[in-house]
Amino acid sequence: EADIYQTPRYLVIGTGKKITLECSQTMGHDKMYWYQQDPGMELHLIHYSYGVNSTEKGDLSSESTVSRIRTEHFPLTLESARPSHTSQYLCASSTRASGNTIYFGEGSWLTVV
C-alpha cells in the first residue's frame, strides 16, 4: 500500500481563483511527479522533481507551478484558474531503492466554472 496523499480530492472553484493542490508522501521517496488526466484519457506528465529544490517541466505544457522545499511535499499551484484547467491531477512518487516503481495518489479532481 502506497503512502501518498492528495488533497483536496474534489474541488470546484470559480475562474480567476488561485488554488494549490497538495501532495505528500511518507515513504521518503526522492522523486515526485504530477500528471494531468482528462476523464478516461491518457496521463500526461506536467511536472517532476528529483529531490529538494529540483523541479522540471514535463511533456505537457502547463500554466501550473510546483515547489519542492521538503522531500515529502510537492504542491502544485494555479495562480489564476480557468475552465481549461478542469481535469484530474495525479501525484506520484518513486525511489531507486524501490526499483523506481512509481506509486500514485488518489488524484484531485478540479473543476473550474
5 binds another protein (CB under 8 A): no
- Distance, in Å, from the CA atom of 43 to the CA atom of 52, rounded to the nearest integer, reads 24
Please tell me the number of Cα atoms within 13 Å of 93 on its side-chain side: 24
Q: C-alpha cell of 60?
A: 505537457
Shortest separation between residue 71's beta carbon and another protein, angstroms: 17
List binders of another protein among 89-108 (CB under 8 A). Answer: 90, 92, 94, 99-107
Does 33 engage in binding with another protein (CB under 8 A)?
yes
Interface map 38-77 toward another protein (x if CB under 8 A): --xxxx-x--x-------x-x-------------------
CA dihedral of 43, 46, 52, 53, whole degrees rounded to 10: 180
Q: Cβ(5)–Cβ(104) under 8 Å?
A: no
Binding residues for another protein, rule: CB under 8 A, are: 2, 6, 31, 33, 35, 40-43, 45, 48, 56, 58, 90, 92, 94, 99-107, 109
